[in-house]
Amino acid sequence: MDYSYLFCSAKLKISSLTAAGFTLTKNKDYFLRKNILDGSFFAELHLDAEKQKLEVHVFDATTNEQYALFDMPTVNGAFVAKLREAVQNIIESIKSNCFETKNLRDKYVSYLQSHFSANPDFPWESTPDACVFRCSNNKWFALIMKIKYRQLGLKSEEEVFVVNLKADENTIPTLIDNKSIFKAYHMNKKHWITILLTAVTDFDTLCELTQNSYELVSS
């Protein structure tokens, strides 16, 4: 199963992988094996730092055969759920020990308030995490919200704060990297982009794109 979304939520600290139990393979990727469910199964993790990929496969410890149902997203039985929970605990431990995690939301909101003299507006009672920042013409140039990674095409139910910004339609294709900048979620993809408010996003670039959004909306 693909857990590469982790590279969009945090920055890898390669120097910490060995201490976490990973070994460097001949293929220059990192390998880790962990027993789960009291040793009746084990998980094998393959991490490719260069390609920013993390895959996990589960095996039956008695037969050493891969447990294929784990890799099928449509299979949601109680036992498979238990396996996935055990693997998710491993993923969370790796994220905590081997990745730099940072939520940029608060820092970004402070930037919006100080740089644009704009305060957050919460227009939707049903989504209290969502707020907009408006230009003097009352049109918004930034929409902050919490969504799931899968809503950006990534394989995870984990939630993340993002911001939607307006961008020049001619530059949008060159901006999108599907790592920190994506096609706009829930807005016109021809004119808007979605940016993760996580450690993988360069804050200076985020501020530059925000300034551009402000100018496009206010003009």
- Put simply, whether the predicted model's pTM sits higher than 0.85 gets the answer no
- Work out the pLDDT band at 8, boundaries 50, 70, 90: confident
The arrangement of strands across the sheet holding 181-183 comes to 131-134, 140-148, 159-166, 192-196, 181-183
pLDDT for residue 155: 83
pLDDT for residue 170: 95
pLDDT for residue 156: 85
pLDDT tens track for 61-119: 999 999 999 998 888 889 999 999 999 999 999 999 999 877 899 999 999 999 999 99
User: What is the residue extent of each domain of the chain?
Assistant: 6-101, 105-218
Handedness of CA 68, 50, 157, 11 (dihedral sign): positive
Instruction: Give CA–CA dist 53/28, Å, rounded.
Output: 13
pLDDT tens track for 22-62: 999 998 899 999 999 999 999 999 999 999 999 999 999 99
Cβ neighbours, 10 Å, residue 46: 16
**Average pLDDT score over residue span 173-182:** 95
pLDDT tens track for 148-174: 999 999 888 889 999 999 999 999 999
pLDDT for residue 108: 95
pLDDT for residue 77: 87
Instruction: Give CA–CA dist 206/193, Å, rounded.
Output: 11
Q: Considering the domain 105-218 in this protein, what is its CATH number? A: 3.90.1150.30
